[in-house]
Structure 1
């Protein structure tokens, strides 16, 4: 191969690399919402299907979107209340195991669907999920007259972003973050190390940065076997949280680790909630 042929070969190779990189970059820019949210409209089961009483609610957000929520009461009118923000897949009907566990432990709970999920109107967005969380908090504190001192906000995976937002704004009795990331850009840089994430990121959900604003007790739950959000994200969140803070290590994968480690999970949740409400 002579010099001209070699340069032509290198040029074609370089153009191919640049083309592939540019194509991937374009996909990331245009497809971020699809990578972020995986909603399902199908309600696969309800609490009633498992023998639990519940109220099927319609809540209206401050920007006029109607969202769906489930309220699961318990016999004790002064019981702790868990406000649950779920992960990025499915909808609240996929979280029945959490609902059953909380009910068995004597905790009332409110599960809400983000806009675009389940029976909620609209399309999901970061700001929209925050407004959905605010509407759910307002339902508990304004409609049901539940004091913040009885409310524990729980964020599962993506829901951690909504949970830290609400906790920083309202300072509830406690905050639980399960299998949650430090921020979307942090995780995206791990998945796409060659991409200019800081320049193109359309979503933040900056949990790490918000923890400094939260004075409520914090419980971080994470598994070393989590295949979606690495364990070190949970460790960094714990390090950033103000005291009092607690870390509960479970085992198992991202979506079902709490079930794989159910005795440990229930004991840790119970001790955290009973401890903060006893103070």
Structure 2
């Protein structure tokens, strides 16, 4: 009996240490700013005219951003990327939007790329808000001409922003319902929903979004299961569309495939304001 109690104590202590480590290491599990911290290329290398920008957030953090222009734009995309890499890893997406006739503002969150500060959930929301203010207040672009595009973690940030402002449309690529829900699936042996200090509650944000929404997700996504995309589509009030993709979560640049690029173009054109 004494041996059994000792074994039980060791197991309990080990599990407690694992739970504590998971609680305090959450930021390292959510954010990967060190992955591709260096800028590997610029839009100019793809023949895309752009401006180097420094945006300042409400709490004083300086963010690095690019504004890629096109002649006679059909609108402007505010691009909010995922939790790894930086804006220089999204050049194919910038080229795709240019082909579709859209200018793009893409910004690195605090702690990513050449941006200052350290990443946090509230910080990423402030970063998105600073990018929105730059477009609408500083450049004078009408909100109904701005499309929010978020991939993975950026999908949660974009959904949060869409619930605060009135954009033309919202595109959710490979989004998850929430960090606690996804984390519980990834680590079923841990009480993630109790431990989670990060929420990124995409589904909750979507309930307060009034603009048209496109949810795009792949059945092959090995990081964020397809059912997350289905649930996000279900909770979006509408008007809404769903686009089923193929390929893994990190199989870059989904929309450069012609059939999906056409679907995205059709959705964006359907949301253009009548003037």
Q: Could you say which TM-score interval applies, normalised by the shorter chain? A: over 0.9
1:1-279 equivalences under 5 Å are: 7-40=1-34, 41-76=37-72, 78-256=73-251, 258-259=253-254, 262-277=257-272
Q: Is this contact kept in 1: 2:93–2:256, CA < 8 A?
A: no
Q: How many residues align?
A: 272
**Considering only CA atoms, is the larger Rg found in Structure 1 or Structure 2?**
1
CA displacement at 1:52 relative to structure 2: 1.1
Q: For 2:271, what is the secondary structure of its paired residue?
A: helix
Q: Which has the larger share of helix?
A: 1
Write the distance in 2 (CA, Å) between the matches of 1:191 and 1:16: 25
Q: Is this contact kept in 1: 2:64–2:107, CA < 8 A?
A: yes
Write the distance in 1 (CA, Å) between the matches of 2:85 and 2:247: 20
Alignment match, 1:3: none
After TM superposition, the structure 1 stretch with the greater mean CA deviation from structure 2, 48-57 or 12-21, is 12-21
Q: Is this contact kept in 1: 2:79–2:104, CA < 8 A?
A: yes
Q: Is this contact kept in 2: 1:223–1:257, CA < 8 A?
A: no
CA displacement at 1:49 relative to structure 2: 1.4
Segments of 4+ in structure 1 off by > 4 A?
Answer: none
Return the TM-score normalized by structure 2: 0.95
Q: Is this contact kept in 2: 1:223–1:250, CA < 8 A?
A: yes
CA displacement at 1:63 relative to structure 2: 0.4
User: What are the superposed Cα offsets for residues 93-112 of structure 1, whole Å, 9 maximum, x if unpaired?
Assistant: 11111111111111110000
CA displacement at 1:15 relative to structure 2: 2.1
Write the distance in 2 (CA, Å) between the matches of 1:79 and 1:278: 10
Q: Is this contact kept in 1: 2:219–2:225, CA < 8 A?
A: yes
When the two chains are superposed, the root-mean-square deviation of aligned CA atoms in Å is 1.4
CA displacement at 1:20 relative to structure 2: 2.4
Return the TM-score normalized by structure 1: 0.94
CA displacement at 1:135 relative to structure 2: 0.4
Name structure 2 gaps, 5 residues minimum: none
Write the distance in 2 (CA, Å) between the matches of 1:60 and 1:225: 38
Q: For 1:203, what is the secondary structure of its paired residue?
A: coil
CA displacement at 1:143 relative to structure 2: 1.1
Q: Is this contact kept in 1: 2:93–2:255, CA < 8 A?
A: no
